[in-house]
């Protein structure tokens, strides 16, 4: 996909599930260990890593174990003003 095109929900699901899988592996956790630590079923974790589909509550539980829960604090928050040109800086 071209970088300048906006992402759609399917693209985001795939990207987020890949990030979580990469983080899990970096922490040297198996899917089973993550399941036990997060209290999210092994089947849900496997499905998430394959398809990106997961209940939001389970996603947050995984984020807690994977030490990235704070990343969700910025979702739908106030956005900083983006300047359209250099004139807005001067």
What is the second-level CATH architecture of the domain 9-72?
Answer: Orthogonal Bundle (1.10)
Instruction: Check whether 80 has a pLDDT greater than 90.
Output: no
Tell me: the pLDDT tens digits for 14-57?
Answer: 999 999 999 999 999 999 999 999 999 999 999 999 999 999 99
Helix (H), strand (E), coil (C) string for 32-52: HHHHHHHCCCHHHHHHHHHHC
pTM of the model: 0.79
Above 70 in pLDDT, residue 85? Answer: no
Given pLDDT bands bounded at 50, 70 and 90, which one contains residue 90?
low
């Amino acid at each position: 996909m071209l970088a300048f095109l906006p992402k759609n929900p399917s693209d985001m699901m795939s990207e987020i599930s890949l990030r979580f899988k990469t983080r899990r592996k970096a922490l040297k956790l198996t899917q089973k260990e993550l399941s036990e630590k997060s209290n999210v079923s092994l089947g849900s974790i496997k499905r998430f890593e394959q398809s990106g589909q997961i209940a939001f509550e389970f996603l947050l539980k995984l984020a807690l174990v994977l030490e990235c829960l704070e990343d969700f604090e910025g979702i739908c928050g106030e956005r900083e003003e983006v300047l359209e040109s250099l004139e807005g800086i001067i």
